[in-house]
């Protein structure tokens, strides 16, 4: 009985070593790969355009996202008539990720206000849209099929 | 008796061995726990949200990204200004001129609604030179905020910071369905007066609003007639002359022989532009500049 107890404790110890190794095995995908995966998941999205430094400054920096917060980013969106947007940011620290999340939530609120009473389909898209975080990754996804987009984004991590 | 003590000793030794194993296991488990907690915090372990402490960034800089925007109060004028506003001496609408290159747009700001917003979002001109918002119309020009490099603010606030050499205004597509021409022209005139008062050195150019497709004219929701657009554009030209500002007839480069926008130039709603349509629009502006 005591030997059995000893073996059980030894086994628990071995499991503790494995679980408490201090290293994670979470994937660290390129932000552009996440964006591509989400775009591919959509069948009804209009042609998208990639974010450049000027659009980054107006659409994101103006809400408080600065380059020194990020290790990586990628964003695409459609033209003036549509609200579609897929923006993925990899923050350097947890604190930065929090600030990026706040900024993207502010942008989502602005876009929702802009389309209010203007285009019902786009309003519906924005109502389903969300800002989500996975570790230091923060994503703003506004697309026609949010469920497929979420699955596609999850598959990258 | 000897057997009794021997058995008892054996049991005692066995007991010691088991105790040592148990004690050793507990020590190792404790050590593993300490190693785990070293790499996390008690709050994380317990799933409690707290304000994270400040840490130094450790990754490489993303050099292609922009730096933190300067504050509104310290913003210096970025663009050159002329000493005098040019009178529309050639008459309105502005006639054809020698084509300028895309660097011309560095000195311009485009003000408008979702059609104008597409200039920036389609990367046709710098988004820093587009002050537009989906749903913007002339009745909301002083209250609706736009996204700018300086932050979210009204158009006039942003223009005061930017001090562009040229400001192109295209407003009316969003409003023609429910606002009268008289009401829109009155509000438009006030807006022009405001720009003149705040930015006396800036050239103001009014743009005619674009046509819509045949399908949009008969849409079940918010149909827009091209004849109403033509009528409004005539009023815009008169206003530009009254206000002594320039008028560029961008409508003329987009309309087909039937007075409508071609379907392949329009987005699905028959009203907004395809990406390529902006190139036609901007080429017209580059060949009808104000000197």
Q: Mark yes or no for CB contact B122/A13 under 8 Å.
A: no
Out of B35, B114, B151, name the one closest to residue A80 (CB).
B114
Tally of domains in chain A: 1
Q: Report the pLDDT averaged over residues B72-100.
A: 63
Cβ–Cβ below 8 Å for B116 and A110: no
The answer to whether residue B152 is domain-embedded is yes
Q: What's the Cα-to-Cα distance from B55 to each of A31, A71, B47, B50, B52, rounded to whole Å?
A: 23, 15, 20, 15, 9
Q: Which of B12, B30, B46 is the last residue of a domain?
A: B46
Indicate whether B269 and B152 sit together in one domain.
yes
Average pLDDT on A61-73 reads 95
Mean pLDDT in residue range B125-145: 95
- Does the residue A34 lie in any domain? yes
Give yes or no: residues B112 and B246 share one domain: yes
| Residue B105 and residue B127 in contact, taking contact as beta carbons nearer than 8 Å | no
Q: In chain A, pLDDT over 90 holds for what percent of residues?
A: 71
Cis omega (within 30 of 0) for bond into B93: yes
Range of the domain at B13: 2-46
Q: Min CA distance, A40 vs chain B (Å)?
A: 20
Domain that holds residue A44: 26-154
Other Cβ atoms closer than 10 A to B70: 12
| B8 part of a folded domain | yes
Query: What pLDDT band is residue B281 in, cutting at 50, 70 and 90?
Result: very high
B49-57: average pLDDT: 37
Q: Is residue A10 part of a domain?
A: no
* Mean local confidence (pLDDT), B220-225: 91
- The reply to whether A13 falls in a domain is no
**Angstroms from B160 CA to nearest CA on chain A:** 17
B12, B154: one domain = no
Has residue A20 been placed in a domain? Answer: no
Three-state SS across A113-152?
A: HHHCCCCHHHHHHHHHCEEEEECCEEEEEECCCHHHHHHH
Is B95 a member of any domain? no
Band of the pLDDT at B114, cuts 50, 70, 90? very high
- Best mutation target among A22, A24, A58 (most B Cβ atoms within 10 Å) is A58
Domains held by chain B: number: 2
Nearest to B129 by CA among B145, B144, B148: B148
For residue A62, being part of any structural domain is answered with yes
Find, among B233, B261, B259, B231, the residue nearest to B247 by Cα: B233
Which residues 126-155 in chain A show a CB within 8 A of chain B? none
Q: Residues B118, B92, B79, CA angle at the centre, nearest 5°? A: 50
User: Is residue A139 domain-resident?
Assistant: yes
| Per-residue exposure over A42-79, b if at least 16 CB sit within 10 Å of its own CB, e if not | beebbebbebeebbbbbbbbbbbbbbebbbbbbbbbbb
| Shared-domain flag, residues B124 and B36 | no
What pLDDT score was predicted for residue A14? 60
Give the one of B25, B55, B113 whose C-beta lies nearest to A10's C-beta: B25
Residue B198 falls inside a structural domain: yes
ipTM: 0.82
Q: Where residue A58 falls among pLDDT bands split at 50, 70, 90?
A: very high
Residues B270 and B152 in one domain: yes
Looking at the structure, tell me whether residues B134 and B19 fall in a common domain. no
Residue A12 lies in a domain: no
Give the per-residue pLDDT at B50: 42
pLDDT at B216 over 90: yes
Residue at token pair 């104000």: B290
pLDDT of residue A23: 45
Check whether B197 has a pLDDT greater than 90. yes
Q: Are residues B127 and B198 in the same domain?
A: yes
pLDDT band at A44 (very low <50, low <70, confident <90, very high): confident
**Among A111, A113, A70, which Cα is nearest to A92's?**
A70
Say yes or no: B213 and B114 in one domain: yes
Residue A78 placed within a domain:
yes
Domain co-membership, B114 together with B213: yes
Contact across the interface for A62 and B67, Cβ inside 8 Å: no
- Average pLDDT of chain A? 89
B29–A114 CB contact, under 8 Å: no
Q: Which helix (H) or strand (E) element contains residue A77?
A: strand A70-77
Tokens of B274: 């395809």
Shared-domain flag, residues B130 and B226? yes
Domain CATH for B119? 3.40.50.1110
Looking at residue A46, its pLDDT comes to 83
User: Of the given ranges (A122-136, B3-17, B178-192), which has the lowest mean pLDDT?
Assistant: B3-17
Q: Is the pLDDT of residue B224 over 60?
A: yes
Q: Indicate whether B114 belongs to any domain.
A: yes
Cross-strand bridge partners of residue A91: A70
Mean pLDDT, chain B, integer: 82
More confident residue, A101 or A1: A101
CB B261 within 8 A of CB B254: yes
Looking at the domain assignment, is residue B89 inside a domain?
no
A residues 48..77 contacting B (CB < 8 A): 49-50, 52-59, 61-63, 66-73, 77
3-class SS of residue B20: helix
Examine the domain organization and report whether B33 and B138 are in the same domain. no
Report how far residue B120's alpha carbon sits from residue B113's, in angstroms, rounded to the nearest whole number.
12
Question: Which of B 147-166 lie inside 8 A of A, CB atoms?
Answer: 147-152
B190 lies in some domain: yes
Averaged pLDDT, A71-94: 94
Mean pLDDT of B191-214: 98
Is B197 within the bounds of a domain?
yes
Give A25's pLDDT tier (boundaries 50, 70, 90).
low
B18:A3 CB<8 A:
yes
């Amino acid at each position: 009985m005591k030997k059995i107890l000893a073996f059980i404790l030894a086994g628990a110890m071995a499991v503790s070593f494995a679980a408490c190794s201090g290293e994670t095995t979470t994937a660290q995908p390129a932000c552009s790969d996440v964006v591509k995966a989400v775009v591919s998941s959509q069948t009804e999205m209009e042609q998208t355009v990639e974010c450049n430094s000027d659009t980054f400054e107006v659409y994101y920096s103006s809400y408080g996202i600065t380059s020194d917060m990020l290790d990586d980013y990628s964003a695409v969106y459609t033209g003036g008539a549509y609200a579609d947007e897929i923006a993925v940011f990899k923050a350097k620290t947890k604190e930065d990720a929090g600030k990026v999340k706040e900024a993207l939530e502010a942008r989502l609120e602005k876009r929702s206000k802009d389309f209010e009473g203007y285009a019902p389909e786009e309003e519906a898209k924005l109502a389903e849209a969300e800002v989500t975080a996975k570790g230091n990754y923060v994503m703003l996804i506004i697309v026609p099929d949010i469920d497929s987009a979420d699955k596609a984004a999850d598959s990258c991590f | 008796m000897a057997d009794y003590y021997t058995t008892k000793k054996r049991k005692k030794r066995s007991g010691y061995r088991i105790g040592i194993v148990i004690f050793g296991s507990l020590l190792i488990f404790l050590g593993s726990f300490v190693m785990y907690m070293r790499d996390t915090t008690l709050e994380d372990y317990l799933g409690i949200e707290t304000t994270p402490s400040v840490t130094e960034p450790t990754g490489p800089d993303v050099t292609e990204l922009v730096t933190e925007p300067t504050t509104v109060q310290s913003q210096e004028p970025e663009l050159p200004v002329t000493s005098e506003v040019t009178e529309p001496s050639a008459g309105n609408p502005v006639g054809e001129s020698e084509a300028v290159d895309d660097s011309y747009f560095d000195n311009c700001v485009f003000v408008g609604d979702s059609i104008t917003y597409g200039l920036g979002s389609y990367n046709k001109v710098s988004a820093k030179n587009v002050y537009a918002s989906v749903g913007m119309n002339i009745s909301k020009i002083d209250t609706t905020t736009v996204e700018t490099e300086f932050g979210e603010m009204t158009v006039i606030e942003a223009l005061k910071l930017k001090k562009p050499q040229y400001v192109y205004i295209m407003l009316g597509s969003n409003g023609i369905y429910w606002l009268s021409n008289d009401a829109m022209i009155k509000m438009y005139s006030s807006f022009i007066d405001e720009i003149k008062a705040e930015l006396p050195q800036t050239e103001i150019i009014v743009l005619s609003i674009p046509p819509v497709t045949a399908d949009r004219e008969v849409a079940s929701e918010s149909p827009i007639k091209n004849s109403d657009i033509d009528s409004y554009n005539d009023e815009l030209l008169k206003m530009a002359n009254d206000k002594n500002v320039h008028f560029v007839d961008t409508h003329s480069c987009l309309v087909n022989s039937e007075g409508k926008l071609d379907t392949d130039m329009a987005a699905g709603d028959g009203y907004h532009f395809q990406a390529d349509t902006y190139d036609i629009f901007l080429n017209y502006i580059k060949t009808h500049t104000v000197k």
